[in-house]
A and B are shown apart, each in its own frame.
Chain A
Amino acid sequence: MSSSTEKAANTERFHVLAQLEHLQSRYTGCGHADTNRWDWLTNQHRDTSASIVGHPDHLSYMAVANNYSRERARVEQLDKMIQPCGAPPKRTPLDDL
């Protein structure tokens, strides 16, 4: 009896993990247990830039503040998405544990 519940819990756990992995691959920016500060910040910045590009009024706001065209504001935001928060931190051997 007890072993069967253990087994169920085990498969359940694997199932949840698989689901999580599926979610992470499907939705860019989904966090996981090893998400570090840099990952999180980078995702936040990319989301913000994409939102500015997606909202026409917000793009106009950027263009007026900087006194350049809306197209340049758009390109700047897209360029920013590539690496918004600097290079990622160095990987330590602990990361792979």
Chain B
Amino acid sequence: MHLYHLSLQPPSNIVCAVHGSFAGISKQQEVVVARGSILQLLVCDSRSGKINVKCSHDVFGIIRSLAAFKLTGGSKDYIVVGSDSGRFVILEYIPNKNCFERVHQETYGKTGCRRIVPGQYLATDPKGRAVLIGAVERQKLVYIMNRDSEANLTISSPLEAHRNFSVCYDVIGMDVGFENPTFACLEVEYEEVDQDPTGEAARNVEQCLTFYELDLGLNHVVRKYSEPLPERGNHLIPVPGGNDGPSGVIVCCQNVIVYKNLGEQQDIRVPLPRRRNDIEYEDTPLLVIASAAHKTKSIYFFLIQLENGDLFKVTLDTEGDIVTDMHLKYFDTVPPANAMCILKTGFLFVAAEFGNHQLYQIARLGTDDAEPDFSSRSTKAGLYNVRDLMNLVMVDTMDSLDPLIQTQVADWANEDAPQIYAICGRGGRSTLRVLRNGLEIAEMAVSELPGNPVAVWTVRRTVDDQYHSYIIVSFANATLVLAIQDSIEEVPDSGFLGTAPTIGCGLIGDDSLLQVYPGGLRHIKSDRRINEWKTPARRYIVNCAINRRQVVIALSGGVIVYFELDLTNQLREFSDHHAFESDILCMSISEIPEGELRSRFLTVGLADNTVRVISLDPTDCLQRLGVQSVQGDPSSLLIIETPDDTGAAPVLHMNIGLSNGCLIRTTIDQVTGDLADTRTRYLGTKPVSLYKVTVEGKDAVIATSSRSWVLYNYQNRFHLTPLSYMPLESAAPFVSPQCAEGIVAVGKSTLRILAFEKLGAVFNQTTHRLKFTPRKFVSLFGTDNLIVVEADHAAFTEKAKADRKAALVEGAEAAVQAARHDVNQQYNAQELRELYRNLDNDESQHGLPKNRNGTWASSIRLINATRGNTLCHYELPEGEAAMCVELVQFRSQPDSVFVLVGCASNLQLVPHHNPQAGCVYTFLVSKAVQGFEFIHRTVLDSPVYSIHAFKGVALIGVGRMLRLYDFGKKRLLMKCENKSLSSSLIPEDMEHLF
């Protein structure tokens, strides 16, 4: 536990991901991901298809690259981390400690993400003999891996593979079997470019594919071979070699992928195919952004992903060691990824570059479908139709807020705790999210009960039962017993007294049940015999505490009676009673420690604002041991045990719920019964009640007040999180064949069976889709109606989309006319025309189509953040980029409120032209706050990035000028101007002005 630099919500994007057998368990693969500064181990459960964080570690640095390698003959993968630390770090995951352990740490350079300090690229030899760490420019270091006589990993001093004046695009370790390890690298040398004033060299500069060979005998690295490439590549994929394949690399270049190898091998080029059923222009460049490889003993294939998210399966035809052809086949479309991992268990993990990460199950390999096959025989780009998922099935998602563009914390939904409103995502995957502090709850069953229940318990019939047998629900004057079978039904002959409320019940001894009701105790034996203990006259039971061998009851008037199970399984009353001066409000007793006969401590909450610890040891039975005074009446007590990781005795934690809504947690000393280490937390407005449940096999506490909370131990830390669910009255653990770990709870007049989801998460997200990348939002008068402005570069507006579609249909129509004499061609042209007419791709799945550079599409949306429905929507004409939004109440128009949207017109990002124009759109908010209407557009001479309401006028940052505008009938009217700013104003500057 680090006590510094802890953020409430850790980064959720994934920069790089590698998979391997890090735990060293055969046939199980884990994924290690880097999220900014956090290194995490993800485990994918192949049965449930859920992916969970197993181990998380903050490195307090920037992780730039990750690689995994396995020593020859080893079963365990090591993790290599390339970071900004100037160090080469090898980590090993230790499963039983659940942590990453550093095996080697070699310092080679300065810290920081620098141009010539390695850390950007990592490449490993597939046989685990060497690892290369490279910089963006010049430097590459190779470390040789080996093992010593005790099978520990050893590392050599670094060997240099530097190359002056060269920019590195990508580097991989080639699979060459057991020959000398070879690394393939994409490099551009700029030495000549720097010497040539004519600029000729810069135009002709070529990228080279260079092979570096590590000579293990001579212990140095040689530049073995270098070959200029006709087009620039950006990504390399190693092809299996040795006994498994032909070796070599696939170079992914713009619009084409090329297979290359040393020796006799001819280059095999396959142009990247294009979407047919899309409105994109045919000359939009295609780029491979990520790849994943799958290799078994019999087959290997690769998945490559293009910028629009389309996956292609790449396979090779070979004759001996010579590759004769390469095939591409459209596989499916998933979110554009930073990294992809194909796991041996048949899952594909997609670490999306923006938005939620996905886990897919590979249902089919796309071998025998009707998708067209693209090979090196065609020189032109093939065409394919994009479609819904066919080979993959989505099984799980990991939330990611990246890129988070704006957030605001406010209670706009009128709940008791504020929400966080966030706009995130990009393009078609943009979202508005409402984050609430709380744990997600899966509702498994809800059933109505007659009347309002006050408490619920679950009991097993014998100690050895795996599942719970009965649910006992207590009402104000009756008790209901339900049996848990395939369905949950009432049982009349359970032995429980149904005509009185129940104070407590549980399994006692090995196979008998105990019910505590106001009039006495009812001991129900397994053979249905019943032993009863009645209270003395004019006394009744107010409270009880039960474990498997001990029963303590509190009678009205502050008297405690203690029972213990004797050797004949009879409850034996302890002869002494103990009387307190004030009323007993609550009691708790811990479970019996393993190997002992009784629990030593009873805790009692009294009306005099104290909690006392009482001994139950036969030598000093019912003696007072410790006392803690609290600020209010204790309303509930619960002792839970926390198993210690180091194997020492578990720690006893006492939880005290107070009637003023606070929860106090203290630790009980196992020997003396002293109380120590007290923490307090306010939970809600109502008295706190505590119930013991189980989370991940450990004791956990449900605390109910005006909200329900759960206190659980997860990844060696206690989490106290509210439940994102209705307030509950009482809860109990629930285990049945259908539900491995759940809770049964009562609330109002219902019985609910629930389960926890996404343990460890602090926020529960509600997500609403947007159309373009959101830029800014404001709340309309502090309600959950938000105005969101969205804008995207190189995107189609609805109108531009319709125009482009019409043009495509027209083109196809012309083709139909031209092919009048050829039936076959005409049929094809007609088919294409119909295809264009019915174009309708799901943009959240297939991505926004790409328009020409320099075009913009923007929209202004009034959306209800609670329900997610768009109340009003206005799309700006093409070329306008909405950048900011503000509500302004003009002095001259006191009755109306206006929405001002600042835009840039025809903004050129690259090259950035200075003379640019902007405008401000003015909208009037309707009286019912359900919409807005367009009033006018004010043309300005520079883009507008910030608007602020200021004393009844609008303060607008126009380029480098700061101006005051008032409302006018035809346009906004300039009142005042300040030209003395050095750069254009962005919203943050504007905030600083006030």
Interface residues of A (CB under 8 A from B): 27-29, 42, 46-47, 50-51, 53-57, 60-61, 63-72, 74-75, 78-79, 81-83, 86-91
Contacts and interface: CB of A to CB of B under 8 A. Distances in A.
B880 interface: no
Is the interface on chain B under 10, 10 to 19, 20 to 34, or 35 or more residues?
Answer: 35 or more
Given A56-B64, A69-B289, A82-B193, A75 B234 contact: yes
A28 B116 contact: yes
Contacts of B194: 42, 83, 88
Chain A contact residues: helix, strand, loop or mixed: helix
A74 to B, nearest CB: 8
Nearest to A53: B136
Contacts of B271: none
B188 interface: yes
Interface of B: 13, 15, 36, 62, 64, 84, 113-116, 119-120, 136-138, 164-165, 167, 169, 188, 190, 193-199, 202, 205, 232, 234-235, 287-290, 307, 336, 338, 353-354, 402-403, 405, 426-427, 773, 792-795, 909-910
Contacts of A42: 194
Given A65-B909, A67-B793, A69-B336, 19 more contacts: A28-B116, A50-B136, A54-B136, A56-B15, A60-B353, A64-B405, A67-B794, A69-B307, A69-B353, A71-B288, A72-B287, A75-B232, A81-B137, A81-B190, A82-B193, A86-B199, A87-B198, A88-B194, A88-B195
Given A28-B137, A81-B136, A64 B403 contact: yes
B115 A28 contact: yes
Given A56-B62, A63-B353, A78 B169 contact: yes
A60 B138 CA distance: 25
B403 A47 contact: no
A57 B36 contact: yes
Contacts of B794: 66-68
Contacts of B190: 81-83
B793 A71 contact: no
B36 A72 contact: no
B426 A64 contact: yes
Most buried by B among A47, A65, A68: A68
Contacts of B289: 69-72
A63 B794 CA distance: 12
B218 to A, nearest CB: 24
Residue among A29, A64, A66 having the largest count of chain B Cβ atoms under 10 Å: A64
Among all A-B residue pairs, the 6 with the closest Cβ atoms: A54-B113, A50-B115, A87-B199, A71-B289, A67-B793, A56-B15
A74 B402 CA distance: 18
Nearest to A87: B199
B116 A27 contact: yes
Contacts of B792: 67
Nearest to B136: A50
Contacts of A60: 13, 353-354, 402-403
A87 B197 contact: yes
A97 B274 CA distance: 57
B137 A79 contact: no
7 contacts: A28-B115, A67-B794, A75-B287, A81-B136, A82-B190, A88-B194, A88-B195
Nearest to B196: A87
A78 B307 contact: no
A87 B203 CA distance: 10
A50 B114 contact: yes
A54 B36 contact: no
A82 B793 contact: no
A75 B188 CA distance: 12
